[in-house]
Amino acid sequence: MVERADSGAVTSVVPGVGQRRRGWVLAGFAVVLGGVLGFHRLVPNWPGRVGSLIESFLPWGGALVVVLLAVGLVRRSAVALVALLLPAGVWVDTFGGLLLPGEEGSGRELVVVQHNVSDENRDPAGTARALVDSGADLVALEELVDPQVAVYERALAADYPHHVVRGTVGLWSKHPLSGEQVVDIKPRSIEEGWSRGLRAVVRSPYGDVAAYVAHLPSVRVGVGGLASQRRDESAVLLGRAIANESVEPVILLGDLNGVVEDRGLRPLTSQLAFAESGFSFSFPAAFPLARIDQVMARSATVGHIRTLPATGSDHLPVVARVTLE
């Protein structure tokens, strides 16, 4: 114990007490972080859809673990470092598989590309060339508007002789298409004329595949939390359509404006498989924070998913190999 005299008074200071207190605070943060990572489904979605908001950035919990680890090392706090094993272990268990390269395909596979090309894209022809270079069997595009859609049709025609456009979404294919139709995913509060869903049957070398292309409504983060009501309603409608699909396998390609951990996409993730490896954050293109461009499938496996270089869009394209069962 050290005695310190201040203005004639003598006080006692125990070395390390402040450090130990800070160590327990760090340990508390670590336990809370581990709980959120492991039990995020228990976080209520009110007010402001806070549960969905947390889930939208859940993978970044790993970055928080690293920050707490650095602080714990600086503080030389053994209790904090031990406590950090909890969130680190939960994060690795949840997201560690995405760091792996993925297994080789069986040969019965289709390479697919998903890209929101942006209705403000100033270089649609260059964007189309980049997508052609991917060598994909299927290319799904969103935010197709005049006159850009004609540019995509011309630029992709040679490599993708089969295509369908409905509303602002389209599908280009190296294989014949049939059964093209609109999928109504319009929320009730949106005016008529809004069309962002389509379905077609791809006559692939391995048999028929039902392909869906969708662009769910945007979400906004504000002082009131996450505004995702329209997105969630649209996800329910899309989930019903896919649940009633009679053709197998099914592939869904789309800008879903949500990550696969987001409970708002449960109508889709509860019945469709998604990527087994690869983070592939796709939005915003300038500094990707989340993968809201998704490839999902039923009676098929979505292998490693990755992003392609930036185009003239505010989204990055994502490409994946889908192995058919």
Inform me whether the pLDDT recorded for 6 exceeds 90: no
**β-pairing, 109-116 with 138-142?**
parallel
| Residues 50, 320: Cα–Cα separation, whole Å | 31
According to the model, what pLDDT value does residue 36 have?
Answer: 94
Mean pLDDT of 29-35: 94
Which strands sit side by side in the sheet containing 207-215, from one edge to the other?
A: 177-182, 197-204, 207-215, 250-255, 293-298
According to the model, what pLDDT value does residue 106 have?
Answer: 66
Between 2-11, 112-121, 233-242, 294-303, the lowest mean confidence (pLDDT) is in: 2-11
* Residue pair 92/291 in contact by the 8 Å Cβ criterion: no
**Global pTM?**
0.87
Answer positive or negative: Cα dihedral of 43, 49, 54, 56. Answer: positive
Inform me whether the pLDDT recorded for 12 exceeds 80: no
Task: Quote the mean pLDDT of the chain.
Answer: 91
Q: Name the E strands within the chain.
A: 2-6, 9-13, 109-116, 138-142, 162-166, 169-173, 177-182, 197-204, 207-215, 220-222, 225-227, 250-255, 293-298, 300-307, 318-324
Q: Which two tokens stand for residue 31?
A: 């336990």
Q: Which two tokens stand for residue 281?
A: 């954050």
According to the model, what pLDDT value does residue 20 have?
Answer: 65
| Residues 63, 289: Cα–Cα separation, whole Å | 12
According to the model, what pLDDT value does residue 97 have?
Answer: 83
Which residues are CB-contacts of 123 (< 8 A; sequence separation ≥ 6)?
A: 311, 312
According to the model, what pLDDT value does residue 17 have?
Answer: 57
Which residues are CB-contacts of 65 (< 8 A; sequence separation ≥ 6)?
A: 30, 33, 84, 87, 88, 91
Long-range pairs, 4-12, Cβ under 8 A, ≥24: none
- DSSP, res 95: H
| Residues 40, 322: Cα–Cα separation, whole Å | 29
- Digit-coded pLDDT (tens) for 60-104: 999 999 999 999 999 888 998 999 999 999 999 989 888 877 666
Mean pLDDT of 35-50: 89
